[in-house]
Amino acid sequence: MPINIAIVGGGPKSFIPELNRFNKESMMWIGADQGAEVLLENNIRPTISIGDFDSVSASSYQKIKERSFETLTYSEEKDETDLELAVQEALLRSPEHILLFGVTGGRMDHTLANIQLLYPLLKQGKKASIIDVQNQMELAEAGTHKLEINEEYPYVSFLPMTMEVTDLTLEGFYYPLEKAYVPFGSTLCISNQLIEDPGTFSFSSGILLVVRSKDLN
């Protein structure tokens, strides 16, 4: 059976959705640093807990070691972030889909670096999604892609992650497009909505960050 791997990072807990919604039989859980603590707080036993654990107390670290199937502890002085180490462990298990929680909010340098981690996963042919209480994010390469209506995250935005995206066409959207040129920094494709299920988006070159979002009451 293909496995999905959920990685929980050490981002602000208020940004993390209810994790048990995603806790299916085929799911493997990896806690990166404080993310392991979050998993225990949600009554999910980590398959792997990994990192330098500088964001948890000594008592919490002891609980993490006792309750995780495997704990991998690294020095605080290292080249990779705890999240990147977790992604590397996930890739060793050839997952079908990697879900990333607890990787947004808080420090902007961490958030931006975590979004950029989607790129090497895309290049390795791995489906990867960042999910928080307000957003779902994925990267897409040139080609034709389908999107289904998601009532929880009704808004759809397309942000170029390369210097340009060419021939962007949106079909089944409230604001359609046909073969549009979208340079890096453009806000042309912010806050659209699907009116057909499924809709499609296609483009000839570049990489898009596809953000599905909602307003918080």
User: For 38-81, how does the pLDDT look when each residue is reduced to its tens digit (9 = 90+)?
Assistant: 999 999 999 999 999 999 999 999 999 999 999 999 988 888 88
What pTM was estimated for this model as a whole? 0.93
Longest dimension (CA), the chain: 57
What CA–CA distance (Å, rounded) separates 208 from 157? 10
> CA 123 to CA 173: how far, in whole Å?
28
CATH fold of the domain at 4-133: Rossmann fold (3.40.50)
In this chain, the answer to whether the domains covering 4-133 and 138-213 adopt an identical fold is yes
* Cβ pair 36, 49 in contact under 8 A: yes
Could you tell me the fold of the domain covering 138-213?
Rossmann fold (3.40.50)
SS3 76: coil
Quickly tell me which residue has 């040129």 as its tokens: 181
Q: Average pLDDT of the chain? A: 95
Rg (CA), the chain: 18
Amino acid identity, residue 141?
A: E
Question: Looking at residue 77, what is its pLDDT?
Answer: 83
CA distance 171 to 22: 30
Instruction: Using the structure block, give the residue that is written with the tokens 């080249």.
Output: 79
Residue 80: its pLDDT value, please?
86
116 Cβ neighbours under 8 A, 6+ residues apart: none
The secondary element (H helix, E strand) that includes residue 21 is none
Residue 201 to residue 176: CA distance in whole angstroms: 9
**pLDDT of 2 higher than 70:** no
Q: What are the residue ranges spanned by the domains of the chain?
A: 4-133, 138-213
